[in-house]
């Protein structure tokens, strides 16, 4: 379905799947992955038939084993800063208006962990391994790791992962709240798509407003967050989907949401 070199795009009903496709390099993120991934997300954000996005890595071994380290060689501080200030996949995911699920099938390291953190929900295989090993290269996370990991699992545990660079297993990641669910490798896909399909049945407008409102919680103070929640709640009242949801409840039937 796509002509990309480093990513693949598939569609299963109203769920799109973005596969990072460099298995021989453990799906590490080079600049082409960022460019192609951003292009795919731009396409999907306009595609009304797509209601949920799942992101995963090609092959059995790795989700994403970090930034492509070979691209760091020779970069200066200014050039590397500009790379990360440009349109990255991290930012495109963060700004994507539809729900995004990271389906973590293996190594989830460095930029891979940061990419998963930019997603809304994370499901993981029991075989997945997580870490922010940048410290071992004499650098620190630059794709949001110090900020999003800390907000998600707290300062102490984020500090330990980032300062040691050690990997943790999927069960530990679950205990820390880094992933929402852990499944056997055989079940990962089925369970993740069950979750994606369940979300895809909801009103796309309500999903977008809900996402925006929840994200505000870790980015503003309580008074501002509560005020903005009311505005986003009110936006839902301008939708046909709200009328459909209310009518379906009163008529004791399943709603059919159209995203209008």
| Residues with catalytic roles | 114, 134
Minimum distance from CB of 109 to ligand COA (Å)? 4
Minimum distance from CB of 25 to ligand COA (Å)? 4
**Whose Cβ is closer to ligand COA: residue 27's or residue 208's?**
27
Edge-to-edge strands of the sheet including 129-131? 62-64, 107-109, 129-131, 168-169
CA distance 32 to 36: 6
Minimum distance from CB of 140 to ligand COA (Å)? 9
> Where on the phi/psi map is residue 54: left (φ > 0), alpha (ψ -120 to 50), or beta?
beta
Query: What is the binding site for ligand COA (CB under 6 A)?
Result: 25-26, 28, 65-70, 107, 109-111, 133-134, 137
Helix axes 204-217, 222-236, angle to 10 degrees: 180
**Whose Cβ is closer to ligand COA: residue 65's or residue 93's?**
65
Minimum distance from CB of 124 to ligand COA (Å)? 16
CA distance 259 to 203: 6
CA angle (152, 141, 208) in 5-degree steps: 45
Minimum distance from CB of 18 to ligand COA (Å)? 19
What burial letters (b/e) apply to 122-131, b meaning 16+ CB within 10 Å?
bbbbebbbbb
**Whose Cβ is closer to ligand COA: residue 140's or residue 256's?**
140
The tokens for 91 are 């930012």
**Whose Cβ is closer to ligand COA: residue 109's or residue 161's?**
109
How far, CA to CA in Å, does 196 sit from each of 69, 123, 199?
32, 11, 5
Minimum distance from CB of 213 to ligand COA (Å)? 32
**Whose Cβ is closer to ligand COA: residue 99's or residue 141's?**
141
Dump strand ranges (E) for the chain.
7-12, 15-20, 52-57, 62-64, 100-104, 107-109, 121-125, 129-131, 168-169, 181-183
Whether the Cβ atoms of residue 93 and residue 71 lie closer than 8 Å to each other = no
**Whose Cβ is closer to ligand COA: residue 68's or residue 241's?**
68
State whether residue 166 is helix, strand or coil.
coil
């Amino acid at each position: 379905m796509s002509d990309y070199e480093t990513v693949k795009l598939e569609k299963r009903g109203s769920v799109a799947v973005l596969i990072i496709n460099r298995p021989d390099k453990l799906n590490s993120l080079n600049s082409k992955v960022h460019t192609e991934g951003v292009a795919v997300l731009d396409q999907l954000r306009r595609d009304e038939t797509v209601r949920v996005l799942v992101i995963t890595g090609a092959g059995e071994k790795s989700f994403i084993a970090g930034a492509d380290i070979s691209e760091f060689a020779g970069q200066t501080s200014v050039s590397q800063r500009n790379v990360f200030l440009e349109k990255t996949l991290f930012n495109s995911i963060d700004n994507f208006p539809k729900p995004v699920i990271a389906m973590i099938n293996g190594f989830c390291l460095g930029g891979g962990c940061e990419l998963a953190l930019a997603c809304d929900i994370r499901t993981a295989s029991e075989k997945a391994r997580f870490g922010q090993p940048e410290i071992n290269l004499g650098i620190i996370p630059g794709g949001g790791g110090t900020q999003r990991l800390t907000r998600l699992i707290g300062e102490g545990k984020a500090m330990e992962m980032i300062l040691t660079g050690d990997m943790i297993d999927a069960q530990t990641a679950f205990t820390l709240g880094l992933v929402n669910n852990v499944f056997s490798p055989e079940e990962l896909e089925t369970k993740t798509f069950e979750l994606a399909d369940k979300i895809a049945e909801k009103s796309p407008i309500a999903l977008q407003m809900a996402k925006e409102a929840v994200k505000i919680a870790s980015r503003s103070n309580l008074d501002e967050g509560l005020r903005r929640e009311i505005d986003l709640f009110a936006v839902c009242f301008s939708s046909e989907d709200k009328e459909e949801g209310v009518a379906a409840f009163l008529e004791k039937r399943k709603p059919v949401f159209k995203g209008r």
